Amino acid sequence: MEIKSPVENHGLYIAYSELHQFVKAVMNNHQKIICPTCGKKNTWYPENLFKPFCSDRCKLIDLGEWASENRNIPGNPMDPEFIREIDNDGDELS
């Protein structure tokens, strides 16, 4: 498809220009996030090894919170019988 000049097809040129600006903005826009540990504003870059945290320190603090059981996922505890069967078989039941 040949794109005509703005004079020949003003509407198509405007639509193309707006689309180009939108795509450019999306490509250059990185999502802004807040570190769950310290609350520092951060940018979500694919290269950031610590995301969603701002640093290795905050990542390790969060891991420590989970390891010390200060954080947990809400829900009912697992059935002790189910846990025993997993321990005996090494696999979940089918």
Known binding-site residues for Zn(2+) equal 35, 38, 54, 58
User: What is each CA distance from 52 to 32, 46, 55, 58, 63, in whole angstroms?
Assistant: 10, 11, 9, 10, 13
Nearest to 37 by CA among 23, 56, 22: 56
Known binding-site residues equal 35, 38, 54, 58
